Amino acid sequence: MASIRHLTALIVLVGAAGAAQGQSASIAATATVVTPITVTGTAPLAFGNVFQGVNRTIAFSDATSGRFSLTGYLGSQVALTFTLPTTLASGANTMPINTYDVRVNGTNVTAGATALTVISGTPVNSNFVAGNLFVFVGGRVVPAAAQAAGAYTGSIVLAAAYTGL
């Protein structure tokens, strides 16, 4: 008797349609935020007694020149923005202050200080070569011939910010 063969093909594909196996790796993103800038006003610009009609200049190197000190990250650049009054005031009276002589040094001495070309409100760059910066501010007042007697004051402001360099 003839026989009929039944052939069965069973194909099993294992894993062929399975989810792809992923691989991963990670790296770090790093940054170091450096020490912040500190700005300290250490001495006022003191013209002392002045006389009607006689201009008075205090040199940057004078003992009564204005002083600021800054600390910041070694070697970084700093933008210095001075706000300089154009007059000192005594009540309703004003006395012009029309010249400034601003210098900077990496150490707290006037010898060897570098002149800064300063325009009020405009940043000027300097550098924390040694992590410190000392600023010396001289100036000149111009009392009028009829300048009212009295104590005159004004405010010199120094703002400092890193430039990122």
Partner 1 sequence: MRIARLAALAAILSVPALAHGQSANVSATATVVTPLVVTGNANLAFGNVFQGVNKTVPFSDATSGRFSITGFGTSQVAMTFTLPTNLINGANNLPIDSWDIRSNTTNVTAGATAMTVTSGVPVNGNLAVGNLFLFVGGRVLPAVAQLAGSYTGSIVLAAAYTGL
Which of 34, 46, 129, 144 is the binder for partner 1 (CB under 8 A)?
34
Q: Is 151 in the site for partner 1 (CB under 8 A)?
A: no
Q: How far is the CB of 35 from partner 1 (least distance, A)?
A: 5
Q: Is 117 in the site for partner 1 (CB under 8 A)?
A: no
Q: Is 1 in the site for partner 1 (CB under 8 A)?
A: no
- Can you say whether the dihedral through the CA atoms of 101, 104, 105, 108 is positive or negative? positive
DSSP 34: P
* Residue 93, phi then psi, degrees to nearest 5: -95, 145
Residue 57's Cα: distance from chain center in Å?
28
Is the Cβ of residue 53 or residue 75 nearer to partner 1 in the bound state?
75
Which helix (H) or strand (E) segment holds residue 142: the answer is none
Residue 101 CB-half CA count within 13 A = 14
Q: What angle do CA 34, 123, 87 make, to 5 degrees?
A: 130
CA distance 96 to 87: 4
Per-residue contact track with partner 1, 85 to 114, x per CB under 8 A?
------------------------------
Q: Which two tokens stand for residue 76?
A: 């970084």
Interface stretch with partner 1, choices 23-31, 54-62, 89-97, 133-141 (CB under 8 A) = 23-31
CA distance 113 to 136: 8
Which of 61, 69, 71, 76 is the binder for partner 1 (CB under 8 A)?
76
Q: How far is the CB of 76 from partner 1 (least distance, A)?
A: 7
Interface stretch with partner 1, choices 4-12, 47-55, 91-99, 114-122 (CB under 8 A) = 4-12
What residues make contact with partner 1 under the rule CB under 8 A? 2-5, 7, 9, 11, 13, 15-16, 20-37, 73, 76, 161-164
